[in-house]
């Protein structure tokens, strides 16, 4: 009986050991840390982040990663609909992007692509993507950019993610100093000293991004489309342009300059008569939209609107210094000229 009891106890001990082993294997081991994203979610991420996936507005998300000095960590290429020379400076900053898998089709994640890319974490600005990526067991961080200053909050989050708080602080300091430098000169201007400005996709007669209302005002201009709207896009007509009579027109690509000058209906518009039609610059993203390059947008526009106030500013130097400091890329003179002329964004 004693031998039988010993055998039973041994069997139960073996079973218990087996259960503990299975539980240990099945339970997700967490040897990392918690990062709180911009939806207030505490997300488990590895201690060291070597590879990140970007899903949603990929060029914008990439620009954040570039600015934190981690371009080489991006694990995916741009989506197929964002191909071509328009996005060439994404590849200038991160040359290996072209050889990486695509993890997004349309606006949603490609689950197979995410598995192939094997990122340590996915960055997205879409809440639905967070849930879809969960199927791959890859942690996803939700980023949000609703107000202009949110760019600094995003950078602080990435500084925590990559263990680079100093890089995030350096960007925030640059952002604030640039805004202060411009503001100290334009904030004293009267309304009649601020030009009426139209930022537009001329082909579609649309003001494409609400944030333009912010950077036009910060640069010392008055946006003619700033009516307190909530939505992103603002549609208008040729007749409305005539009524606004903008003194400066900024279009979304270099090709649209000729279209505006060639439209006989606009012949009496101030910006046309005085040859003040310009293309928005484009680097890793369109400067008129949400981009980590936003301080450059404000500086460029301020010099455009008020050349006498900013005679000491060499915008080419500002661009090269920004790319060198934050993107770790030394631009050539031709590259800088291409960005400022908006040629990378020119459509065929």
Neighbouring residues of 76: CB distance < 8 A, sequence distance ≥ 6: 53, 54, 58, 97, 100, 101, 102, 103, 104, 113, 117, 119
Cβ contact 284:296 at 8 Å: no
**pLDDT beyond 50 at 25:** no
**pLDDT per residue as tens digits for the range 148-204:** 889 999 999 999 999 999 999 999 999 999 999 999 999 999 999 999 999 999 999
Average pLDDT of every residue of the chain: 89
Share of the chain above pLDDT 70, in %: 89
d(CA 266, CA 270): 9
**pLDDT per residue as tens digits for the range 322-341:** 999 999 999 999 999 999 99
**Whole-structure pTM value:** 0.87
d(CA 196, CA 1): 100
Domains and CATH numbers, the chain: 33-164 (3.40.50.1980), 189-345 (3.40.50.1980)
Helix (H, G, I), strand (E, B) or coil at 56: coil
């Amino acid at each position: 009986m004693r031998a039988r009891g010993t055998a039973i106890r041994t069997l139960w001990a073996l079973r218990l050991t087996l259960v503990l082993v299975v539980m240990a294997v099945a339970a997700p081991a967490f040897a990392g840390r918690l990062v709180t994203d911009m939806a207030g979610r505490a997300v488990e991420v590895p201690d060291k982040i070597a590879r990140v996936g970007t899903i949603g507005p990929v060029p914008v998300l990439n620009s954040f990663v570039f600015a934190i000095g981690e371009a080489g960590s991006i694990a995916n290429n741009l989506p197929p609909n964002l191909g071509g020379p328009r996005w060439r400076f994404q590849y200038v900053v991160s040359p290996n992007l072209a050889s990486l898998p695509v993890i997004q089709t349309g606006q949603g994640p490609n689950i197979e692509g995410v598995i192939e890319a094997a990122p340590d974490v996915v960055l997205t600005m879409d809440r639905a993507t967070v849930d879809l990526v969960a199927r791959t067991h890859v942690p996803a961080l939700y980023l949000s950019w609703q107000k202009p200053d949110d760019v600094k909050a995003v950078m602080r989050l990435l500084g925590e993610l990559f263990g680079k708080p100093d890089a995030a602080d350096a960007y925030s300091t640059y952002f604030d100093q640039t805004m202060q430098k411009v503001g100290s000169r334009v904030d004293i201007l009267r309304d009649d000293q601020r030009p009426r400005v139209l930022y537009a996709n001329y082909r579609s007669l649309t003001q494409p991004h609400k944030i333009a209302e912010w950077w036009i005002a910060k640069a010392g201009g008055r946006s003619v489309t700033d009516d307190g709207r909530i939505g992103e896009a603002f549609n208008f007509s040729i007749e409305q342009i005539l009524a606004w009579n903008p003194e400066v027109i900024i279009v979304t690509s270099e090709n649209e300059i000729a279209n505006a000058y060639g439209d006989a209906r606009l012949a009496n518009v101030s910006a046309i008569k005085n040859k003040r039609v310009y293309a928005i610059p484009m680097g890793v993203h369109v400067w008129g939209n949400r981009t980590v390059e936003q301080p450059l947008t404000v500086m460029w526009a301020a010099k455009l609107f008020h050349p006498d106030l900013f005679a000491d500013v060499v915008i080419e130097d500002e661009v090269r210094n920004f790319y060198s400091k934050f993107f770790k890329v030394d631009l050539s003179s031709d590259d800088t000229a291409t960005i400022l002329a908006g040629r990378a964004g020119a459509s065929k």
